[in-house]
Structure 1
Amino acid sequence: MLSILGTTWGLLTGFRASLYETGWLPCHNLELPVISIGALSVGGAGKTPTTALIASLLSEAGVQPAILSRGYRRKSTAALLVSHGDGRGPVVAVDQAGDEPFWLASVLPTVPVVVAKRREEAAHVALAAAAVTPDVFLLDDGFQHLRVARNANLLIVNPEEPFWEDTPIPSGRLREAPTAATRADGFLIVGDDTDATMGLHNHFPEHPWFELTRQTPCYWSLGQEIPRAWPTNENKSATETRLKGSVFAFAGIARPERFFEDLEADGVTLKGQCTFPDHHEFRAQDVTRVIKMAQKCGADTLVTTEKDAVRLPSKRFRLPLRVWGYRLQTSSPETLVSWLKELTGLSSIPDAA
């Protein structure tokens, strides 16, 4: 039954895509070039960290991006400017922006971030109200948002779960059939996996691909500003790369088990763990529950993800709380940026000094 439902969903999403491709449904051209970053899987693919990396690389190359996001699970309904891009970071509360746009605005304070159900509305707001003039729009989680035309369509690949071996929901974890990947202009492989790279090349030999890897995860105290420049050997004053003591972890993200596995791989002594739904709006009773569970299992430190940390109702806990986060990097940033400039017609913009 699940297999039949998955096949049906794949056919329906393929039919929807064909309506946009043939012009039966309108596809809007924005005032600026568009780069879309997305995935076929339903969650935990690393779309938002990848968007942050692309925005950073473009900024460093002298190209001013503006990020357009849906703002999933936000309480506001109208198009909303989350960050002016003037260095202040988010100017609205996390529940109004959505946790992912709020995080993007926090780590990329010189990049305008706008949320709207329809990205063309977000683009209008970015052009009218941002403090800087963007050169290009980035669609965060935009692969299925076919209402907007794009110059570069980037698809994220998880080498541990290659999409060409998966099926659409509910029988698998894909939003569309694997054949939808043919819409991509290029692939971003999040992780170093030779088998996955070979598999991708075999299925899509004409498509360029770029490997992204994680920088060493770090921990910082709740209430500290999210690191904007990722710590290096010369700049570790506010963060740690190791978490000591007996730890209790909690998370409300798409794939919490990966977070717990990462902690254990980092050598963390994990006494217990607790999960909440993805994008969960934490309340005081949730915090009380977490603390009681941690104390019951003998933990002396709490840890959560930076995506969860922005949704916590208080910055004060009866136990020390550390925030875990990571950033992505690529070994070929110049090649990636040059390719994106070519696709978007921005090659004439000189690299930043």
Structure 2
Amino acid sequence: MILFKIIISPLSLIYWMLSSSRNALFKWGLLQQYKSRIPVISVGNLCMGGSGKTPHVALIIEHLTDYNKAVISRGYGRKNKVIIEANSQIHNTKDTGDEPMELLHKFEGSSFKMIIDGNRKNALRYLEMHKEKTDIVVLDDGFQHQYVKRDLNILLTDFSNPFYKDLILPIGGLREHRKGAERADMVIVTKCPKDITPAIENEIKKRISCYSSAKIFFTKISYEALINHHNNKTSIDSKKKYLLITSIANPNPIYEHLNENNIQFATKKYRDHHNFTKTQIQEVINISRQYDAIITTEKDWMRLKETELVNAVSLDILRLRMKMEFIYSKENLKFKDQITSLIK
């Protein structure tokens, strides 16, 4: 492994030079940024994935119940590249991507818009021309997309793999150098253990402060309930055996949660944003006969429910509902105040 990293290290140097040059062009004003009249919050990270962007976008939206809000996402993996104002009645994950569809299912209504477009500037202009006023916009995975100015730039970093310990692609998982953190107005350390100590928090703050002067918050995962395909809550049974299907960047927190609750389960893991083939679905159908029920994530359910799996198995297919919470309630209040203060 060490030899392999030495061999590919020149590629990391090239990647670093390209990303640093691009950042410098924005910093010097040689690449122009679009300033929207709508307040813009960006949520993103320095690494390739797994820091919890979608749950944190949901956390922001939950704080904006009294406002007309929109989320702009490029819709990773979608087939159609034209701009879409998503509607769950006419669009599927091939149109939107899985994470935008997950957000749409949670918040769809008259005060929420889900806009899918890789060009965030075009998406903002679409909202600005819309007859219905949008009070605030959230850019999903927008940290590297600097063609749009933002009023609040939120950087996420995973507690188990903080950016200050990572390296640039392809040796590590960083999309750009750690110094990119200096663009953040706020850093959120995500997926923290519930019993994180002040000493560990202070060490993390100290390490992050080498790259950013932003305010630092800490969040944790909260698993709420299992939801069946009738959208009803159901309890988990330690006497049953479950098949856990995931295609997310880091399923380890789910494994830990199930183990803590003494749940018997086996895993079927796919790469992040995986599009299931008919062969793979048939394989899952065959394997599932050994189990009492199937568990998956809400994100994965967006794609699985569009496959033959739903009608081919008699087992319950349960999705594990989760959300992000601040470690300290006072941080939640500060966070909400900072977000709502952007709306004029």
Q: Report the TM-score, using the length of structure 1 for normalisation.
A: 0.84
Distance (whole Å) between structure 2 residues aligned to residue 119 and residue 274 of structure 1: 35
Give the 3 Å change call, closer, same or farther, for CA 26–243 of structure 1 in structure 2: farther
1:310 aligns with 2:309: no
Cα RMSD over matched residues? 2.3
Aligned to 1:326: 322
Aligned residues: 322
Equivalent residue, structure 2, for 1:9: 15
- Which residue identity is paired with 1:103? E
Contact 1:57 1:333 in 2 (8 A): no
Whole-Å Cα distance in 2 between the matches of residues 95 and 163 of structure 1? Answer: 31
8 Å Cα contact 1:248/1:273 also seen in 2: yes
CA positional deviation for 1:242: 5.6
SS in 2 for 1:327: strand
Partner of 1:280: 274
Separation in 1 of the partners of 2:89 and 2:22?
35
Could you list the runs of 5+ residues in structure 2 that have no partner in the other structure? 1-5
Q: Is the 8 A contact 1:219 1:243 kept in 2?
A: no
In structure 1, the residue matched to 2:3 is: none
Asked if residue 213 in structure 1 is aligned to residue 220 in structure 2, the reply is: yes
Where structure 1 has 5 or more consecutive residues not aligned to the other structure, the ranges are 84-88, 226-236, 349-353
> What are the residue-to-residue correspondences of 1:86-125 with 2, within 5 Å?
91-110=90-109, 111-125=112-126
> Which stretch shows the higher mean deviation, 261-270 or 32-41?
261-270
Over 3 Å counting, the alpha-carbon distance change for 1:257 and 1:211 in structure 2 is closer
Q: Distance in 1 between matches of 2:86 and 2:236?
A: 30
Opposite residue 36 of structure 1, the aligned amino acid is S
Identity score, percent: 27
Q: How does 1:1-353 map to 2 (within 5 A)?
A: 1=6, 2-59=8-65, 62-83=66-87, 91-110=90-109, 111-129=112-130, 132-190=132-190, 191-192=192-193, 193-194=196-197, 197-202=201-206, 203-204=208-209, 206-221=213-228, 223-225=229-231, 238-240=233-235, 244-270=239-265, 272-295=266-289, 298-312=290-304, 313-314=307-308, 315-316=310-311, 317-330=313-326, 331=329, 332-342=331-341, 344=342, 346=343
Shift of 1:257: 4.2
CA distance in 1 between partners of 2:317 and 2:202 (Å): 41
- Report the residue type matching 1:107 in the other structure: K
Q: 1:210 is matched by which residue type in structure 2? A: F
Instruction: Choose 44-53 or 319-328, whichever is displaced more.
Output: 319-328
After TM superposition, the score normalised by the length of structure 2 is 0.86
Q: In structure 1, how many angstroms separate the alpha carbons of the residues matched to 2:213 and 2:33?
A: 26
What amino acid is the match of 1:75? K
How far apart, CA to CA, are the structure 2 residues paired with 1:90 and 1:183?
38
Structure 2: which amino acid aligns with 1:67?
V
> Per-residue displacement from partner, 1:216-249 (whole Å, max 9, x unpaired)?
342111x334xxxxxxxxxxx6233666511111
SS at match of 1:216: strand
